[in-house]
Amino acid sequence: MLVAVRKPPIEFSITGTVPEKLLYGLVKEYGADNVRIERDDCVNAMEMEWFKNLEEEDTPGKNMRFYRKLAGMTQPILAEKLGTTKQFVSDMENGRKPISKATAKKLAGIFDVSVARFM
């Protein structure tokens, strides 16, 4: 991590592990606009192995369940919005029935997300 503080006439930088208390003190003393923090220890999560494994497990049915629960809907409520049965919603969520293009479009409209999430 690199922390640089710029405030005339003072300019200095610290490299290595910087304690949170020190960061807080620098921001408090010099203002957030004058303290720049660069982290070189960050990694893009999408490049990590665990994320790639999760992505492989991602299915349209799991996405459907995720967005349904996020919206606070039960299967019967979603079934009503889709014009189908609770059992059919359950079957789609569990991968026993495929999600048609027409249903994917309806789901995208209901949850305000891309159709691709359900294909």
pLDDT band with cut points at 50, 70 and 90 for residue 83? very high
Domains by residue range for the chain, with CATH: 2-42 (no CATH), 56-118 (1.10.260.40)
CA separation (Å) from 81 to 11, 34, 52, 89, 107? 61, 52, 33, 11, 9
Gyration radius of the chain's alpha carbons = 24
pLDDT surpasses 80 at 2: no
The 10s digit of each residue's pLDDT in 91-101 is 999 999 999 99
Interior CA angle at 53 toward 47 and 56, to 5°? 110
The 10s digit of each residue's pLDDT in 61-73 is 999 998 999 899 9
The 10s digit of each residue's pLDDT in 7-56 is 666 777 777 777 888 887 887 887 777 777 777 666 777 777 777 777 66
Q: Using CA atoms in the order 19, 23, 25, 30, what is the torsion angle rounded to 10 degrees?
A: 160
